[in-house]
Each structure stands twice: as structure tokens, then as C-alpha cells.
Amino acid sequence: MSYSQKVVDHYENPRNVGSFDKGDETVGTGMVGAPACGDVMKLQIKVNPSTGVIEDARFKTYGCGSAIASSSLVTEWVKGKTLSEAASLKNSQIAEELALPPVKIHCSILAEDAIKAAVEDYKKKHSN
């Protein structure tokens, strides 16, 4: 199988690799796994508490090239977005941007699940 140019680019030059302190009040963490292949993705957002805008993002992905590319792309996309904008991101947008083949669609779903989980985690921290 051949990877698209954009997948290769994000795989070879992943953006925003790393992590923030999980306990930080301004950080939301999403950790998800794909039962189909055992890949694991951690995606974190850093939010400005007064504006609700995501100012930064990080990821760590133990998985295939498409999963790494999907999470790298998402960390770029969510910067400057509100929490609800980030949570409404669709895996189909990721799959389309990276031209993922059908067998790699679940890799983009992993990235959608991870960003949604990160937003939920942030909201939970600020719900009381």
C-alpha cells in the first residue's frame, strides 16, 4: 500500500509531538485506543480559560503512519479553535485531507475520538 504525500509529510515531520502536564488546569487530555490494531493515541489541548480558545496542542501516538499523520494534522487544526469547534471535527475531514484509503479510516477515527476526549476532559475539570 502506498501512503499519500501528506501522510508521509506528517509522518516524517510530525507537528506538535510531546505532552503537557496532565494535572494542569488549562490542559485537556484524550487517550484512546483502537481495538482493531492496538494502536494508542494521546492528544492534549491547552486552553485559554477566559476565552475558551485552544492555544496549543500536543500528541503522542504509538501506531501506524496514518495514525501519526492524523494526530499531527489534528493538533494543527485545533489551534485557534473553540472547544466546540474542535469537538465537532469529523474523521472524514481528516481522511479526506490525508487521502486515507478505506483500511486506514479507523486511524482518522482514532484522532477524532482523541480530540473529543481531550475536550471532554477539559470540560470535566471546569464543570464545578
- Provide DSSP, 59-77: EEEES-HHHHHHHHHHHHH
Count of Cβ atoms closer than 10 Å to residue 36 Cβ: 11
Q: Name residue, grid cell 485552544.
A: 54
Residue 64 annotated in active site: no
Q: Give the x/- contact pattern for ligand FES in 45-64, rule: CB under 6 A.
A: ------------------xx
Selection from 3, 1, 12 nearest residue 99 by Cα: 3
Residue 37 annotated in active site: yes
C-alpha cell at 18: 510531546
Q: Interface with ligand FES includes 113 (CB under 6 A)?
A: no
Which member of 43, 45, 107, 118 is catalytic?
107
Judged by CB under 6 A, the residue of 7, 27, 57, 67 near ligand FES is: 67
Footprint of ligand FES (CB under 6 A): 34, 36-37, 39, 63-64, 66-67, 104, 106-107, 110
